[in-house]
Amino acid sequence: MSKLLHKPELLAPAGSMEKGKMALLYGADAIYLGGKMFGLRAFANNFDLPEIAEITEYAHSLGKKVYVTVNIFAHNEDIDKLPDYLRGLEAAKVDALLISDLGVWATARRVVPKMALHVSTQANTTNYASVQAWQDLGAERVVLARELSLAEIAAIGAKCDVELETFVHGAMCISYSGRCLLSSYLTGRDGNRGACTQACRWEYNMYKLGEQKRPGEYFDLEEDEHGTYVMNSKDLCLIEYLPQLMDAGVCSLKIEGRMKSVHYVATVVSVYRKAIDACWADREHYSVPQEWITELNKVSHRQYTTGFAVSKPDADAQVYSSSKYEQTHDFVGIVTGYDKEAKRAYFEQRNNVKAGEPLELLMPDGEVMPYVLYAMLDEEGNPIEVAPHAQQKFSAHSDVELMQFSLLRRKVVK
């Protein structure tokens, strides 16, 4: 019997102000983001302190939360700079900090003692004793390592009272919960301090990968004219296993992707919003309709896997032929407004888009509808047939009122 008393939170990534607001509008209960320092996504746009205060105020106006990553493995110079930054986050009224380093944890406990602290997945928490230890140190929540099965998560949930968070969707690293040394060794850019080059997904040229004391035994590799991709993990997708996660007592279901696009964040959040609502309403009869899978395939992703949730990953958990993403739809525009009297919808272009071509709209309420642009006008009111310029603003006739922040997309023709 589940000990879960509350509907689990849907937690989404926010790599920029726009992505954060879109995640909240499309159904996330909370977002996590990084500042300009101390986070593990150095190449995301990230937020300075005034921007963190702005997005936090926006989230709170919707009754939602903001968590900030302070999860690098800190060196001495990092610790020296940390107190002022922590006080800035407290002043911004963020809801919790995500921390992996024990020194950062101790500093935060001393400098901002009232701040809620969550244990980052980078801490590699894989057993109930570690969860209990973090709880004794004052953790409000522990983000479990990705390397756990559903049974292990349930066993931890049965023995621990602290909140548990797990990843349910997004990219997977060939590492232990993201603690990888490849980037640092090969390029000098430390993935554990936010500067990962994704060296695991480079094109490597090799014919056979074996071990000296195991003659004749080789890893299952395939190589084409482009190379091979021996560490190129498929993307995690646990949408089918929400009942088991809820029964295990997981309180927060997390989507990976601060480096992903607005289209990715909005679409994946929209699908998981529907899934969590449906599962919470009736866990016993929960099922995943094909339309949800179709939506998840529309965004840029690698093939999906269940990771460690059901069984330990084998050779099938990797993609050997390419490190490229796949998707069925392109994101071509976003609705910025609607004029009821003129019956005109206003857009901002995100990809070359033309009048008359078949498109579709994904709206913040999760609905998808077909749409065709016609009677297009540029910002000056001049008739146009195409919007070719990056982030070009234009309008089009629409008898139907379109919701602001709806996404306009086009099926990829191969």
| Residue 115 scores a pLDDT above 70 | yes
- pLDDT-derived band at 225, boundaries 50, 70, 90: very low
| Residue 395 scores a pLDDT above 80 | yes
CA–CA dist 96, 118 (Å, integer): 7
Sign of CA dihedral 128, 134, 137, 140: negative
- pLDDT-derived band at 1, boundaries 50, 70, 90: very low
| Residue 40 scores a pLDDT above 80 | no
pTM: 0.85
| One-letter amino acid for residue 324 of the chain | K
Q: What are the tokens at 32?
A: 């996590």
Given a contact cutoff of 8 angstroms between Cβ atoms, the answer to whether 30 and 11 are in contact is yes
Exposure class string for 309-344: b at 16+ Cβ within 10 A, else e:
beeebeeebbbbebbeeebebbbbbbbbebeeeeeb
Q: What are 305-362's pLDDT values in tens digits? A: 888 888 776 656 555 455 566 889 999 999 999 999 999 999 999 999 999 999 999 9
| Residue 228 scores a pLDDT above 50 | no
Q: Which of 49, 43, 52 is nearest to 17 (CA)?
A: 52
The arrangement of strands across the sheet holding 358-362 comes to 368-372, 358-362, 407-411, 329-339, 344-349, 393-397, 377-378
Residue 175 CA: distances (Å) to CA of 124, 202, 222: 11, 15, 21
Segment 137-162 mean pLDDT: 95
Q: What are the tokens at 139?
A: 């953790």
CATH 2.40.30.10 residue ranges for the chain: 329-411
- pLDDT-derived band at 39, boundaries 50, 70, 90: low
Give 95's contacts (C-beta < 8 A, 6+ positions apart).
30, 56, 65, 66, 67, 116
What is the pLDDT at residue 307?
83
- pLDDT-derived band at 300, boundaries 50, 70, 90: confident
Given a contact cutoff of 8 angstroms between Cβ atoms, the answer to whether 68 and 87 are in contact is no
* 3 state SS of 139: coil
- pLDDT over 90, % of the chain: 69
Selected from 3.40.50.1370, 3.30.70.2190, 3.20.20.70, 2.40.50.140, the CATH number assigned to the domain covering 9-175+234-311 reads 3.20.20.70
What is the pLDDT at residue 409?
97
Query: 42 or 257: whose pLDDT is higher?
Result: 257
| Residue 265 scores a pLDDT above 70 | yes
What is the pLDDT at residue 394?
98
Q: Which of 1, 30, 2 is nearest to 14 (CA)?
A: 30
- pLDDT-derived band at 224, boundaries 50, 70, 90: very low
CA–CA dist 231, 391 (Å, integer): 35
| Residue 209 scores a pLDDT above 70 | no
Segment 177-200 mean pLDDT: 63
What is the pLDDT at residue 317?
56
CATH 3.20.20.70 residue ranges for the chain: 9-175+234-311
In 262-412, DSSP assigns E strands to: 304-305, 329-339, 344-349, 353-354, 358-362, 368-372, 377-378, 386-387, 393-397, 407-411
What is the pLDDT at residue 226?
43
207 burial level (CB within 10 Å; 0-12, 13-18, 19+): exposed
What is the pLDDT at residue 9?
98
What is the pLDDT at residue 213?
67
Assign domain 329-411 to its CATH superfamily: Translation factors (2.40.30.10)
